Amino acid sequence: MQNRTRYISKSHMIESKHIQVTGGGYANFPAGASLPERTIKNFELVWIESGHVTWLCNGEEIDCPAPTIICSQPQWRDGYTWDPNFPTRHGFLDFTCTPSELGLPDPSHWPTHVYNDGDDILRPLLRHALWLHTAGLRHDLIESALLHCLRCFIGGVGSIGTVSYKRLPSTFHRALRVIHNAWGDDIACNLPLDTWAERTQCSRGHLIALFKKHVELSPHESLLLLRLERARHLLERSDVSIHNIAEQCGFATSFHFSRCFREACGMPPSQYRKNTDLYKSLLPVKLQHILQFI
């Protein structure tokens, strides 16, 4: 114990007293299997890896397709009915914790389950914590990973910064794919609105409405800022000339690029490149969230 505590901060040691993994593993179920209702002894996090689950929680049936994460609490009554047509696989971690000592809200305010379309940090953290536990490795790492996962789960901040496909309409996705394809040759070209709408298979008005709704900017404003953001990264992280950056980002001349960049950033590209302490994104948050698709 003395050797271990030499490498663990005091905060980790305090956390270890108040959160502890008591069991875990992966379970595979044949189609149509079920787990009768039972009383939960400890906290339990269950993440559905594949298949479809109906979770019976305190008398309520909750639909939980993969990749739902479920959190059961002590003294709850719960049970499971697994996918009737396909095998189901899930991982689970049983644990004890004292929420008040860990800075967590009262469990009565915790969500019962979350569905993030697999696009979050929760599953990798849970898998990592389970691997550490089954390998019999450092308890402080297990508990740290689990605590971070709990904080993300409870706070609804498990996203890794990407946007779920299910939260965006298909037409908006097509519009983003048009940009992705148009920029496939590494030139972030401008795209006339009529051409963009035609390739998206929608009207100009519908394309404008989609962008106003989902990023609160017009298509033209969004495209310009995305091109300038690409230029900003080249200014910060390369020695590419401003003339070539203008070409790479679809501006007809370096003068036009410099004027647009100054309007967005408040200074010309050459000055921005010299002031590393001023580096920051030019994109509003909602526009940053769609970068993964472009």
Q: What is the pLDDT of residues 107-153, one digit of tens each?
A: 999 999 988 765 678 888 899 999 998 888 878 888 899 999 999 89
- Asked if 214 and 176 touch (Cβ cutoff 8 Å), the reply is no
* Backbone CA torsion sign across 32, 33, 37, 40: negative
Closest CA to 226 of 277, 191, 185: 191
Q: What is the pLDDT of residues 227-281, one digit of tens each?
A: 999 899 889 878 889 999 999 999 999 999 999 999 999 999 999 998 867 667 8
Answer whether residue 161 is part of any domain.
no
| Statement to judge: residues 138 and 173 lie in one domain | no
| Statement to judge: residues 19 and 74 lie in one domain | yes
Strands 52-57 and 60-65: antiparallel
| Statement to judge: residues 69 and 213 lie in one domain | no
| Statement to judge: residues 137 and 8 lie in one domain | yes
| Statement to judge: residues 104 and 192 lie in one domain | no
Q: Which residue do the tokens 């979050």 mark? A: 120
| Statement to judge: residues 109 and 181 lie in one domain | no
- Tell me the C-alpha distance between 163 and 288, whole Å: 10
- Domain holding 260, by residue range, is 166-293
Domain boundary among 155, 180, 195: 155
**CATH no. for residue 117?**
2.60.120.280
Q: Which residue do the tokens 């960049």 mark? A: 261
Q: What is the pLDDT of residues 40-82, one digit of tens each?
A: 999 999 999 988 899 999 999 999 988 899 999 999 999 999 8
pTM of the model: 0.57
Answer whether residue 150 is part of any domain.
yes
| Statement to judge: residues 59 and 83 lie in one domain | yes
At 32, is the pLDDT very low, low, confident or very high (cuts 50, 70, 90)?
confident
DSSP secondary structure string, 139-203?
A: HHHHHHHHHHHHHHHHHT--B-S---GGGS-HHHHHHHHHHHHHTTTS------HHHHHHHHTS-
Answer whether residue 123 is part of any domain.
yes
